[in-house]
Chains A and B, each alone.
Chain A
C-alpha cells in the first residue's frame, strides 16, 4: 500500500511527474509569464500621464494601513526664480514596493522621489534645465519606472524606487541658437511613450518654431516616430482607445488635433479649432455610446468634442478664463466634468448633456486643474486658487469641506495665464487619504485630509468670522480705545489739540 501511494498509482498524483518534469516546468513558466504579463497589463501605468489617466482625475487609490503624516518638503529654499514659472509641477503618484510615493520636478531642474510614508527623499535626479511638466509612472519589465521631460530637450526614464537611470533620449538636437525647449508631460500607452515638445530656434538662418510630437519605445527610449503638429507650443498628449488607439494634442493657439496612432506612423484623424487659445490639455471620458474629449479655452469656453468624429457635442461657458485642464469624475452613475475658472469658481457639468450641476466660488482665481477622488465612498474634489489656498470640495454639491493655506507666491506679482502652476494630486486611502501639492511658495505639501493639519485655514466658517469680528470689537473697544484716550498726550499733539 505504501509503495502504491508513493508511486502515485490510482490517485491524482499518478501523473508521472519526473518523466515530464521539463515540459511541466516549461508550461508552469509559460503560465507564470502570462499571469505576470496580465497582472502587469492590469496596472501597467499607475500614473499614465499628466493628470494620472485619460480622465485627468489625478488621484490614486491605496489600501495600505500605514500612517501618512503631514510633510512640508523644501529643497534649495531661497533660490532666485523668474516670476510666472512653474515652481513645482503637478506631482505624479504611485505605489512602489508597497509604499506610496510622489514624483515631482520643478524650476530647480531636479526630479524628486518622495516617500510619503517615511517623509524622506529616496532619490533626486538633476537634469540640465527646469522641469515644467509632470512625470508619468509605468511598469517596464515589471518595475515601476518614472518618465519625465526636461527643458534640456530630453526625456528621462528612471526606476521609481532606486533612482537608477534606464535611459535618456534627446528629442531635439542641440544648437547654439536654440531657445527654450518646452517638453510636455509624457503619456504612457501600452509599450509606447508619447510626448510633445516645442522648440524655438532663433538663428537667422534657420529661424523656426516647431511643435513636435514624439513616440518612444517604453523600454529603450528609441524614437519610433516624430511628427510636426504645428509651429507653436503644444499641450501634453492624451491617448485613448475607441476602435483603435488615438492621440489628441492641443496647440496653444487653439487647434486640437487627433491622430490615429494604431499604425507605424500617426495619421491625422480630425482637427477642431477652439474659439481661443488653449492653456491646458484635453481629457477623455468613455461614455456609454461614445468617447468625448473635453477641453477648456482661454475666455472660458468649455467644449465637449466627439472623440471619433471631432464634432462639437456641447459648449458651455465656465467663467471667463480656464487656465488648466478639466477632470472627469463619476457621481451617482453619471459622469461629471469639473473645471476651475478665473471667475473664482469651480464648475460641474454633466458630461453627457453639458447641464451645469453646480458652481462654487472660492477665494481667488482657480488656476489649478481639479482633482477628483473618493474618500470613504464619498466623492470629493481638490483645487487650488490664487488666494493661496487649496480647497477640498464635496463633489456632489461643491460645498467647501476644508481649505489649507499653502503660502504666498515666491513673487508678489502673479502672472496669470502665463504659466501652469502645479495642481494637487490625491492619494485616496481611507483615513490615510492625503493631498500632495507643490505650491508656488517653493514648498511641496503632503497634507492629511482626515487628521489635524497645521495649514488648515484659521477662519473656516462664517461663524468663526463673526466671532473674530466680535473679539476685535471687544479688544479694541474695551482695551485699546480706553488706553489710547486715557494716556496723556505729548506736547506736539497738544499744540494741535
Chain B
C-alpha cells in the first residue's frame, strides 16, 4: 500500500515540480527578509494625519503615537533606534546590486519614513516616532511650569537648576552602578549622548533664550558622527534601542531614561538638539506635498501657537519648517485660523502648465 502511495506522491511531485518560477511563494519574505508588514504599518500610520477628522485631531494623534510605539516594538525589525536607522540605511545602500533583498530589508524603514515625509511632511516626528512620543508624554506632566518659564523668556530659575542637577545625579549614580556591574564598550557610546544631553540642560538652564537656535545645529554634528560610525561599522546604540531589540542594552536604557527626564525640563529636548534622524526628515520634508501654510495678516499675536508647540517651531504665525514636527497643534489651537494645511498635489502639474 505504501509503495503505491509513494509512487503516486512521486508522480505528483514530478508533475507539479517546476510550474512556478520560485521554489516557494513569497520566498523573499521568509524569515522577514523584507519588512513588508513594517512598510505597510508605517505607511498606514503616516497616512493617518490625512485621514483623521479635524475634530479631536490631537486625540487621534496620541492614539497614532501609541500605535507607533507598539508597531516599533513588535513589528519593526531593522530600526533599532534613530542611530540604527541611519546605520541600517547605509548598510542597505551598500547591498544594492549584491543582495537586493537584503538591501530592501535594511532600507525599507528609512526609505518609508523619508518617502512619507516627502509626501505628507515631517509627520513621522509628530505622529509616529516612539522617542518623540515618549518625550511628549513625559512633558505633559510639567507643561504648566515649562510654559510659564517659556513665557517669562527662559530666565534663570532655581527649579530648573534643581531639576537639571537631579537628572545629572541620576545619570552619575546609574553610571557608577553600571560601571561596577558590567563592562562598557565602544558601542555603548549612547552614554556619551546622555552626557552631552545633561551638559546641554546645564547650558540651557542659564542661556536658553540666547543659544536655543544655535544649539539646535548640534543635530547636524550628531548626524555626521552617526554616519561616520556607520561607515566605520561601529554599532552605536541609541536611546530606546533596547525596546526594539531583544538584546539587553543597559546603555541604551540609561539613555532613554535620560531623554525622558530631560523632556520633563525641556519638552522634546532630544528632538530639538541631538536627534540625527531629524536632519534627514527635515531635508526630505522641505518641499513636501503636504505642508502647513500661515496667513500672518490674520495673526493677533496671542501666542497660543507658541504655547502649544513642543519644539518651539512656531512664533507669531511664522513656522520654521526645519523644526516643525507637523503635529498640527498650532493649526488646531489657533483662534484666528492663521494656519491651514495645504495639500499641493497639483503643484507640479501647474508648474508644467
Contacts and interface: CB of A to CB of B under 8 A. Distances in A.
A387 B175 contact: no
A389 interface: yes
B292 interface: no
A194 to B, nearest CB: 30
B340 interface: no
B99 to A, nearest CB: 6
Contact of A457 (B102, B185, B245): B185
Contacts of B182: 344, 361-363
B196 interface: yes
Contacts of B185: 363, 387, 389, 403, 405, 457-459
B221 interface: yes
Given A364-B248, A400-B183, A458-B185, A205 B5 contact: yes
Contacts of A344: 182, 248
B332 interface: no
A447 to B, nearest CB: 16
A229 B212 CA distance: 70
Given A485-B214, A496-B313, A457 B246 contact: no
Interface in A440-497: 457-460, 462, 465-466, 468-469, 472-473, 476-477, 480-481, 484-485, 487, 489, 492-497
B181 interface: yes
Interface in A414-430: 414, 416
B247 A205 contact: no
Interface string B1-33: 010011001100100000000000000000110
B347 interface: no
Interface of A is mostly: loop
Given A408-B235, A465-B184, A414 B247 contact: yes
Given A386-B247, A387-B185, A466 B9 contact: no
A126 B210 CA distance: 68
A93 to B, nearest CB: 27
A82 interface: yes
A78 B98 contact: yes
Contacts of A365: 247-248
A206 interface: yes
B196 A387 contact: no
A203 interface: yes
Interface stretch (B130-138, B257-265, B318-326): B318-326
B99 A487 contact: no
B205 interface: no
B340 to A, nearest CB: 20
A472 B99 contact: no
Nearest to A413: B77
Interface string A392-405: 00000000100101
A203 B7 CA distance: 13
A495 B221 contact: no
B215 A484 contact: yes
Interface residues of A, number: 53
Interface string B238-268: 0000000111111000000000000000000
Contacts of A361: 181-182
Given A413-B32, A416-B246, A496-B323, A80 B102 contact: yes
A318 B296 CA distance: 66
Contact of A364 (B98, B191, B247, B323): B247
Contacts of B235: 408
A456 to B, nearest CB: 10
Interface string B283-327: 000000000000000000000000000001101001011110000
A83 interface: yes
A414 B185 CA distance: 19
A414 B31 contact: no
Contacts of B102: 80
Contacts of B323: 496
A227 B55 CA distance: 71
Contacts of B218: 480, 484
A206 B213 CA distance: 72
Contact of A472 (B78, B192, B213, B221): B192
A78 B99 contact: yes
A237 B321 CA distance: 66
A83 B78 CA distance: 13
B74 to A, nearest CB: 12
Contact of B179 (A363, A462, A494): A462
Given A386-B247, A477-B199, A362 B214 contact: no
Contact of B196 (A405, A459, A460, A472): A472
A386 B248 contact: yes
A177 interface: yes
A293 B218 CA distance: 59
B245 A413 contact: yes
Contacts of B199: 473, 476-477, 481
A412 B214 contact: no
A176 interface: yes
A24 B180 CA distance: 71
B65 interface: no
Contacts of B221: 480, 484
B186 interface: yes
Interface string A354-373: 00000001111100000000
A59 to B, nearest CB: 23
Interface of A: 78, 80, 82-83, 176-177, 203, 205-206, 344, 361-365, 386-389, 391, 400, 403, 405, 408, 412-414, 416, 457-460, 462, 465-466, 468-469, 472-473, 476-477, 480-481, 484-485, 487, 489, 492-497
Which 8 pairs from chain A and chain B are nearest by CB?
A497-B213, A462-B179, A496-B320, A205-B5, A493-B213, A459-B184, A458-B186, A472-B192
30 contacts: A80-B99, A203-B9, A205-B2, A361-B182, A362-B182, A363-B182, A363-B185, A364-B248, A365-B248, A387-B185, A389-B183, A400-B183, A413-B32, A413-B77, A413-B245, A457-B183, A457-B186, A458-B185, A459-B184, A462-B180, A465-B184, A469-B175, A469-B191, A476-B196, A480-B218, A484-B217, A494-B213, A496-B318, A496-B323, A497-B214
Given A364-B247, A405-B187, A492-B322, 14 more contacts: A205-B5, A361-B182, A362-B183, A364-B248, A365-B247, A400-B183, A403-B183, A412-B84, A458-B185, A473-B199, A484-B217, A484-B218, A493-B213, A495-B318
